[in-house]
Chains A and B, each alone.
Chain A
Amino acid sequence: MIKIKDLTAEIDGKQILNGLNLEIGAGEVHAIMGPNGAGKSTLSYILSGREEYEVTGGSIEMNGENILEMSPEERAAAGVFLAFQYPVEIPGVQMSTFLKTALNSVRKARGEEELDALALLKLMKQKQKQIGVSDEMLKRAVNVGFSGGEKKRNEVLQMMMLEPKFAVLDETDSGLDIDALKVVSEGVNALRAEDRSFLVITHYQRLLDYIKPDVVHVLAKGKIVKTGGPELALDLEKNGYAQFEEKAA
């Protein structure tokens, strides 16, 4: 499904990824954990095509296709979704308008028929109920004045609408209290499917109590230094990242 090979990347001349290798099979949930500055967010931006990051070597394939050649919107249409660590505010643009524009752009690019206002509203109602997003919230401008929890729930709602093939969750747990964490995790778990892969990026083990990963990787100094099962996350929580940082150096 996803194959990352010898990926190196830099921003502003500073090398961040140093030959990263990662394979995620269809239907699998992988977690990446690592200390601050390990390159976790960089990886999420490179997967989604942010242009400020320069890929200097290696490849990323999704279902055999090289996605590094694709623009961010093309990747979205192909099924890449990034749940942002810091969702961006867009003043004046109603959430419902944003969702409609996004979904229809993606549908159009996928060669599917665009949905009319009514069909869209129906779909939105059905999804928003699952994730506890109110009608009132959809009338507000995108992420403007949203609480931390609302922002993250909103990210998951967008994911539900766009039905990606490969979803990257960048520190979705940051800024969430335990109740919000549960709701968001339930939303993600409901989306788990045989043809959908997840990459969950997190600093803390806590999130993985709710979203159970199949595989856990440790990222340090720009590469994967250890791979294991869910028990690896518990070990990290207990013993910290220091052991791996030395190893990567």
Chain B
Amino acid sequence: MSDISNARIEQQTIDQVNALDTYSAGFVTDIESDKAPKGLSEDIVRFISAKKNEPEWLLEYRLKAYRHWLKMPEPSWAKVDFPEIDYQDYYYYAAPKSSENAPETLDDVDPKLLETYEKLGIPLREQEILAGVKNPVAVDVVFDSVSVATTFKKKLKEKGVIFCSISDAIKDYPELVKKYMGSVVPYHDNKHACLNAAVFTDGSFVYIPEGVRCPMELSTYFRINEMNTGQFERTLIIADKGAYVSYLEGCTAPMRDENQLHAAVVELITHDDAEIKYSTVQNWYPGDENGKGGIYNFVTKRGLCEGKNSKISWTQVETGSAITWKYPSCILKGDGSQGEFYSVAITNNHQQADTGTKMVHIGKNTKSRIIAKGISAGHSDSTYRGQVKVLAGADNARNFTQCDSLLIGGTCGAHTVPYIDAKNPTATLEHEATTSKISDDQLFYCRQRGIGEEEALALIVNGFCREVMQNLPMEFAVEAQKLIGISLEGSVG
């Protein structure tokens, strides 16, 4: 064998080993699962509902959604490209067997599950958490189709805060769920949301009563473990008058060759003077460097600023998934309400992301702010898609939009698609957009100071994203910064 081919093989081996290192959440937990039969039908919808001992109204809701879903076309406007999804090739329900008798305390939770979360760096034992950090975070952990544990429930209850799985909420607080579920994202909103309404299995529920500032950060950690399993979670957060909550969401999945489906729905509602801050660090498995495998992340997130002077703020750091299709939006109904969207979307290798937001100004003196940063490397494609809509009654509405794209290398794409629709002449709308490349000058300057090429790249990209990262809670920001470095590995040199 010639030296050249030897060298090439050696390089391939190095690259493969490196690839294994890059997605550290890519392991599989070997655990016995209780699964629904493969495929999707009315029977499956009934199976899920029966599994969860749901009330009749919810089964009806699911069936209505399912029947509507059959007739709905796939959304086609996003700039993403993938083979048609075979919905019959997925499992719609998978739960660790050990979770059958809902665990009352963490001691009842399967140690294998606890171990999984430990490995992912998500501590669940309350005493340990309290001993470890200054600002503890309460966590709801969702493993495939079910919520397996929720921490600090009791402590939150003292303040009147409800934080539990949506399944528990359906049992324990049916009035609240019935009143709000589907009120912001109706089941017929889009095909992915419709599928979720039919087959959603778990997710988190939060209610912050009037005048309460939630004493700790709340978070949900989503994990897809089973093969060929879709995860369809639903999150519902309600902040009553004058309430405040900061909520975080994190996601990972094992490395698998098949594409997995994740179609979630998140609904937020704020009443008068209430505020919800919702942060996401999305690190679903992105597929390998040739674009094989990875999660299809089709998510509908929307917040309704129902009350006057209320506020909803979305912050997202999207580094994972083979395809991201996601537009966290705000409906600014209450007079003086505010919506914010801060986003970092990083794509590398063959990842595709079509993400952005929609700000709908209905009330008077409503304000919205959009800061979107897209970073593309490798052969990836990243699109910002946003809409600012000002209705006739929205006097003095204001929007500021800034979209910046950063390209790394010459084989990736970045696109900005802003839609503006203003029906009130008093509206003030500003839009700024830039596209830049990481310059060789910047890289060389860092390297001359001793900073290695990959670290230099991570440093420059983190600088580019700074305005968004600043909005993340402290612990999350550190994590997200590291993640940015990891997602871009192998994109220079």
Indicate whether A98 sits within 8 Å of B448 (C-beta atoms), given known contacts A73-B453, A88-B441, A88-B442.
Answer: no
Judge whether B459 is part of the interface by a CB distance below 8 angstroms. Answer: yes
- B289 smallest CB distance to A (angstroms): 23
Q: Which residues of B contact A72 (CB under 8 A)?
A: 444, 447-448
From B440, B445, B450, B464, give the contact of A105 (CB < 8 A).
B450
What is the bound-complex CA distance between A71 and B459, given in angstroms? 19
Q: Which residues of A contact B444 (CB under 8 A)?
A: 50-51, 72, 88
Indicate whether A87 sits within 8 Å of B445 (C-beta atoms), given known contacts A92-B462, A93-B463.
Answer: yes
Residue contact B462 to A76, C-beta cutoff 8 Å: no
Q: Which B positions have Cβ atoms within 8 angstroms of A?
A: 439-442, 444-453, 455, 459-460, 462-467
- B479 smallest CB distance to A (angstroms): 17
From A77, A87, A90, A102, give the contact of B460 (CB < 8 A).
A90
From A76, A92, A93, A142, give the contact of B447 (CB < 8 A).
A76
Residue of B nearest to A79 (CB): B450
Residues 71-106 of chain A, each 1 if its beta carbon lies under 8 Å from chain B, else 0: 111011100011010011111110001100111011
> Which of A73, A97, A141 is the most central at the interface, judged by chain B CB atoms within 10 Å of its CB?
A73
- A151 smallest CB distance to B (angstroms): 12
Q: Which residues of B contact A106 (CB under 8 A)?
A: 449-450
Judge whether A162 is part of the interface by a CB distance below 8 angstroms. Answer: yes
In chain A, residues 125-168, which have Cβ atoms closer than 8 Å to a Cβ of chain B?
141-142, 158, 162
Q: Which residues of A contact B462 (CB under 8 A)?
A: 92-93
Judge whether A52 is part of the interface by a CB distance below 8 angstroms. Answer: yes
A-B contact pairs, 7 of them (CB 8 A): A72-B444, A73-B447, A73-B452, A84-B448, A90-B463, A92-B464, A92-B465
Residue contact B451 to A102, C-beta cutoff 8 Å: yes
What is the bound-complex CA distance between A137 and B343, given in angstroms? 28
Q: Which residues of B contact A71 (CB under 8 A)?
A: 447, 453
Indicate whether A101 sits within 8 Å of B463 (C-beta atoms), given known contacts A72-B444, A90-B442, A90-B445.
Answer: no
- B437 smallest CB distance to A (angstroms): 13
Q: Which residues of A contact B451 (CB under 8 A)?
A: 73, 101-102, 105
What is the bound-complex CA distance between A11 and B140, given in angstroms? 58
Residue of B nearest to A78 (CB): B450
What is the bound-complex CA distance between A88 and B459, given in angstroms? 14
Residue contact A109 to B463, C-beta cutoff 8 Å: no
Q: Which residues of B contact A105 (CB under 8 A)?
A: 449-452, 455
What is the bound-complex CA distance between A109 and B452, given in angstroms? 10
Judge whether A48 is part of the interface by a CB distance below 8 angstroms. Answer: yes
From B450, B455, B464, B465, give the contact of A76 (CB < 8 A).
B450
What is the bound-complex CA distance between A52 and B443, given in angstroms? 13
Residue contact A48 to B448, C-beta cutoff 8 Å: yes
Residue of A nearest to B469 (CB): A92
Q: Which residues of A contact B439 (CB under 8 A)?
A: 88
From B441, B450, B459, give the contact of A73 (CB < 8 A).
B450
Indicate whether A102 sits within 8 Å of B450 (C-beta atoms), given known contacts A52-B440, A84-B445, A88-B441.
Answer: yes
> Which of B439, B441, B450, B466 is the most central at the interface, judged by chain A CB atoms within 10 Å of its CB?
B450
What is the bound-complex CA distance between A88 and B462, given in angstroms? 17
**Mostly helix, strand, loop or mixed at chain B's interface?**
helix
Q: Which A positions have Cβ atoms within 8 angstroms of B?
A: 48-52, 71-73, 75-77, 81-82, 84, 87-93, 97-98, 101-103, 105-106, 109, 141-142, 158, 162
From B440, B450, B463, give the contact of A92 (CB < 8 A).
B463
- B466 smallest CB distance to A (angstroms): 4
What is the bound-complex CA distance between A92 and B462, given in angstroms? 7
Other than A49-B447, A105-B450, give 5 A-B pairs with Cβ distance below 8 A: A71-B447, A91-B464, A92-B466, A102-B449, A102-B450
Q: Which residues of A contact B448 (CB under 8 A)?
A: 48-49, 72-73, 75-76, 81-82, 84
Residue of A nearest to B467 (CB): A92
Q: Which residues of B contact A52 (CB under 8 A)?
A: 440
Q: Which residues of B contact A76 (CB under 8 A)?
A: 447-450
- B434 smallest CB distance to A (angstroms): 10
Indicate whether A141 sits within 8 Å of B447 (C-beta atoms), given known contacts A73-B453, A88-B441.
Answer: no
Residue of A nearest to B439 (CB): A88
Residue of B nearest to A97 (CB): B459
- A144 smallest CB distance to B (angstroms): 9
- B440 smallest CB distance to A (angstroms): 7
- B460 smallest CB distance to A (angstroms): 6
From A50, A91, A109, A142, give the contact of B450 (CB < 8 A).
A109
Q: Which residues of B contact A82 (CB under 8 A)?
A: 448
What is the bound-complex CA distance between A32 and B466, given in angstroms? 41
What is the bound-complex CA distance between A109 and B465, given in angstroms? 28
Residue of B nearest to A103 (CB): B450
Residue of A nearest to B453 (CB): A73
What is the bound-complex CA distance between A87 and B444, given in angstroms? 11
What is the bound-complex CA distance between A73 and B439, given in angstroms? 17
Q: Which residues of B contact A73 (CB under 8 A)?
A: 447-448, 450-453
What is the bound-complex CA distance between A106 and B448, given in angstroms? 10
Q: Which residues of B contact A91 (CB under 8 A)?
A: 463-464
What is the bound-complex CA distance between A162 and B445, given in angstroms? 14
Indicate whether A93 sits within 8 Å of B450 (C-beta atoms), given known contacts A50-B444, A52-B440, A88-B441.
Answer: no
What is the bound-complex CA distance between A102 and B459, given in angstroms? 11
- A229 smallest CB distance to B (angstroms): 31
Closest 6 interchain pairs by CB?
A: A92-B463, A93-B463, A76-B450, A106-B450, A102-B449, A92-B466
Residue contact B447 to A88, C-beta cutoff 8 Å: no
What is the bound-complex CA distance between A48 and B446, given in angstroms? 12
Residue contact B463 to A141, C-beta cutoff 8 Å: yes
What is the bound-complex CA distance between A121 and B440, given in angstroms? 29
- B459 smallest CB distance to A (angstroms): 6
Residue of B nearest to A109 (CB): B450
Residue contact A88 to B450, C-beta cutoff 8 Å: no
- A131 smallest CB distance to B (angstroms): 16
Residue contact A93 to B452, C-beta cutoff 8 Å: no
- B492 smallest CB distance to A (angstroms): 12
Residue of A nearest to B461 (CB): A92
What is the bound-complex CA distance between A160 and B214, given in angstroms? 48
Residue contact B452 to A98, C-beta cutoff 8 Å: no
What is the bound-complex CA distance between A76 and B444, given in angstroms? 11
Residue contact A77 to B445, C-beta cutoff 8 Å: no
> Which of A87, A89, A92 is the most central at the interface, judged by chain B CB atoms within 10 Å of its CB?
A92
Residue of A nearest to B460 (CB): A90
Q: Which residues of B contact A98 (CB under 8 A)?
A: 446, 449, 459
